[in-house]
Chain A
Amino acid sequence: MRCVRVLLAKRGRAKYTSHLDMQRCMMRAVRRAGIELWYTEGFNPHPYVTFALPLPLGVESDGEPVDIRLEGDMTNNEVRDRLNETMPEGIEVVDVVDAVNKPGDIAFARYHIELYPKEGLADKISSALESGNLPAEKLGKAGRKKVTKQINVSELMGEYTVQDNGESVFIDIVLAAGSQRNASPFILIDALSTAIGEGIEYKKITRKAILLANLEKF
């Protein structure tokens, strides 16, 4: 048995496939590709296919890491090629690598956000990001109960740029990611809308990369 990390790009209509549906999609692709999976040895044997960091519904990605455990000695390139022959529209294996870092080491993710343009929008967003105070409401859990938590998105973000080319406004930004501290691009857009006092509609959001605490690629 060996563990490999598959990097999946998710583009176009495929972005509407949810996290749980992506797991099913991956499982079926592996079966179609004739890749021999390792199965757990319990009462109800199941394969090991794990997405390192859930991707919010509606967000595209340049490379989502999925760890799978294989039997046999198929090379990483063969795994990649076989999968690419059978993937549904919009999902592509960009690379297959040996899994070095653990999913728990994930600390940040970089996003590219494209917005419908509005007069002065880029400036307003820039100063809101500058302010250091971007309150937002987040659904969380306290024990079993669902509660709304107040968070400050400014504390959950890193470097960013804002640009306007006339047709779109672009935000490139690093946000906290992982099981401890996490901010989704949607929370950021909500917080920005509240801060500037007007609705912001996005065209497309792409997760460009998943990063470790030292900002190196996961």
Chain B
Amino acid sequence: MLSEKIERILPLVQKPGRYTGGELNSVVKNASEVDIRYAFCFPDTYEVGMSHLGIKILYSLVNAREDAWCERVFAPWVDMEEQMRKNNILLYGLESGDPIKDFDLVGFTLQYEMSYSNVLNMLDLAGIPLKSADRHELTPIVIAGGPCVCNAEPMADFFDIMLPGEGEEVTNDLIDLLKEHKAKGSTKQEFLLEAAKIKGIYVPSLYDVEYNDDNTVKAIKPLGTAPEKVEKRIISDLDKVYFPDTFIVPSVEIIHDRAVAEIFRGCIRGCRFCQAGYIYRPIREKQADTVNRNCKSICDSTGYDEVSLCSLSTSDYTNLEELLNKLLDWTEKDKVNIALPSLRADNFSKELSERLASVRRSGLTFAPEAGTQRMRDVINKNITEEEILSAARKAFDGGWTSVKLYFMLGLPTETDEDIVAIAQLAQKVVEEFYHNPNKPKGKSVNVSISVAPFVPKPFTPFQWEAQNTKEELLRKQQLVINSLTSRKISLTRHNTEMSFLEGVFARGDRRLSAVIETAWRKGCKLDGWEECFRLDDWMQSFDDCGISPEFYANRERTLDEILPWDHLDYGVTKAHLVREYNKAHNNETTPHCREKCAGCGANKLNGGECDALRESAACKKRQS
């Protein structure tokens, strides 16, 4: 319920529906009947956060427990924040309207580095002390999950607990433990020491980091009973994992306003730049029946007319045909559109394109990532120019007239020749359209290319590489522009200053906590939004703290350097990453996991099991 205080400010802000709660399928409980109140915070706006699948899963999972109540919290936009501060309104949970400082758990999901300053801003708006060390009571315990947790060391000062890996099981373990310690009246330290014994729980304050004179890490030492290495948690059987029957139906349009079902986790491809491809291993698939059931149940209970299949590289799903057949059984009748947001150009079949177009057609996007074959070999994209052109041909033949192509700039070993080739490849795609005998009459083609600066990420073979400087990236962007030869090609560029800061945080250590706090005090927040991003204030903050951001972003590391995330274990071994690093520098590719197991080591997380391993063995048997 909304207090009169909140009601009075709502007419003064943009899109007030973001701050009211009360959406269909949101869960309201009686606060006096639950033991644990959990504020699930997404450190960005409502429209962004509500689009995220993880929050939908964990929200329903916690609320399925009788003893806990999970509420949603998002970052207010600038106008709302101003009104809240002016009227002394503390950040509240959307379901109850109660201030979250009185909750037991305050959890943030860290999806991208540019949201870090929002975490501080939200804690402050909630009236919760920013630093873990300044919060002395047992509750609220402030936790973080999501992909950035594989190296959220720059946020180490602010979180009591981080959860590397998949959250479904460990969230319940953590709630159980907190409930027990709350009843016992434990101190926060007693609770944290116990929590650190649970697999997949990382307590940053239980690790001591020493540095060398050259500012590199000297040692990371666990204190007391904390484990030497924290292994990420995974769900072994995705067919048995909790998945919600329904989603909250937002009253304000959100970015991905549709039903979503997950079809597998992990990826077989091993693209060397891609963090998701490494940190979500090993690959585990859901059965087509399970996914079909998930899709139907969500569409029926929400009224959505689009369902999206979520995974990395969706066309690698071994049951895709079976699943599409099952889905089309009811989606055509119910006029539900199927979206496959992540397709590879090398197994995009004509049949698939026809199926997808059978209800309604959305855009098509392919990601060649680089312009030349040499460059694509270095990053192990394992896709040829002919495969890209052939995919475009099939798309045009299937009636599409616009295609999006994603590329990266600033990849390791990149030369100007590789960059010019991006424009040339786009031009060849345009020509494919005009060579198509079935091209629709009177229609023109639009090839939009997007070039994003490459940011090296932890747990990838490129984790040791130097990121290109802002100036170098600007020069390279200009080179792409100068190489474009057709008005049929449109270009989207990414802000290089933002990529620079992203790069600093991605491979940063915990000394950056001071910089983040300083920048937030200067007013930095919503850094992912162009209109709010202010690099000058960030640079001043680095200066104030005596820290060089270039040390983190633009410095090449040696292979034997201790990295700030070396005490976290995401399954893939460092030895594998080194092998891949060396192959990249020799322009050598590695076949995908189903073709030949590369021995990345991630299967140890699943008791030695890996779907790809089983399939590649079965495949070899068939061949012999």
Contact = CB atoms under 8 A, between A and B. Distances in A.
A181 interface: no
A20 B22 contact: no
B20 A88 contact: no
Interface string A119-134: 0000000000000000
Given A16-B10, A16-B16, A25-B251, A32 B303 contact: yes
B17 A88 contact: no
Tell me the interface secondary structure of chain B in the complex: loop
B20 A30 contact: no
Given A25-B251, A88-B249, A31 B305 contact: yes
Contacts of B136: none
A87 B23 CA distance: 10
A45 B305 CA distance: 13
B360 A32 contact: no
Contact of B303 (A29, A45, A89): A29
Interface in B334-390: 334-335, 360
B21 A32 contact: no
A90 interface: yes
A86 to B, nearest CB: 8
A28 B303 contact: yes
Nearest to B257: A24
Interface in B421-453: none
Interface string A84-99: 0011111000000000
Given A12-B22, A39-B335, A58-B16, A28 B251 contact: no
Contacts of A12: 22
B304 interface: yes
A18 B10 CA distance: 13
A214 B16 CA distance: 36
A32 B305 CA distance: 10
A13 B251 CA distance: 10
Contacts of A87: 24
B302 A89 contact: no
B2 interface: yes
B253 A88 contact: no
A104 to B, nearest CB: 28
B87 interface: no
Interface string B1-33: 010000010110001110011111000000000
A21 B11 contact: no
Given A28-B304, A58-B10, A89 B22 contact: yes
Interface string B252-288: 1100010000000000000000000000000000000
Nearest to A12: B22
Contacts of B300: 32
A58 B253 contact: no
A25 B24 CA distance: 10
A17 B257 CA distance: 15
Contact of B22 (A13, A25, A32, A45): A13
A30 B303 contact: yes
Contacts of B8: 201
A14 interface: yes
Report, as a range, how many residues of chain A touch the other chain: 20 to 34
B202 to A, nearest CB: 39
Contacts of A29: 303
A20 B17 CA distance: 12
Contacts of A21: 17, 251-253
Contact of A58 (B11, B22, B252): B11
Interface string B512-556: 000000000000000000000000000000000000000000000
B9 to A, nearest CB: 11
A187 interface: no
B186 interface: no
A108 to B, nearest CB: 24
Contact of B2 (A13, A32, A201): A13
A215 interface: no
B301 interface: yes
B303 A17 contact: no
Nearest to B25: A88
Contacts of A212: none
A12 B8 CA distance: 13
A165 interface: no
Nearest to B301: A32
A180 interface: no
A28 B302 contact: yes
A151 interface: no
A147 interface: no
Contact of A14 (B15, B251, B301): B251
A44 interface: yes
Nearest to B361: A44
A57 interface: yes
A27 B17 CA distance: 18
A21 to B, nearest CB: 6
A18 B22 contact: no
Nearest to A116: B8
Interface in B36-92: none
Nearest to B24: A88
Contacts of B257: 24
Contact of B23 (A27, A31, A88, A202): A88
Contacts of B253: 20-21, 24
Contacts of B251: 14, 16-17, 21, 25, 88
Nearest to A32: B303
A202 B7 CA distance: 11
Contact of B20 (A16, A24, A27, A86): A16
Interface in A1-44: 12-14, 16-18, 20-21, 24-25, 27-32, 39, 44
A206 B390 CA distance: 59
B499 to A, nearest CB: 34
Nearest to A201: B8
A31 B303 CA distance: 5
B22 A14 contact: yes
**B23, B301, B334, most chain A CB atoms within 10 A:** B23
A13 B23 CA distance: 9
A18 B17 CA distance: 8
A18 B253 CA distance: 10
B47 to A, nearest CB: 12
22 contacts: A12-B22, A13-B2, A13-B21, A16-B17, A18-B252, A20-B253, A21-B17, A21-B253, A24-B257, A25-B251, A27-B303, A28-B303, A29-B303, A30-B303, A32-B301, A44-B360, A45-B335, A57-B16, A58-B11, A86-B24, A88-B251, A202-B11
Given A13-B2, A16-B20, 8 more contacts: A13-B22, A18-B252, A20-B253, A31-B303, A32-B302, A58-B11, A86-B303, A88-B249
Q: Nearest 5 pairs between A and B by C-beta?
A: A28-B303, A31-B303, A88-B24, A32-B303, A13-B22
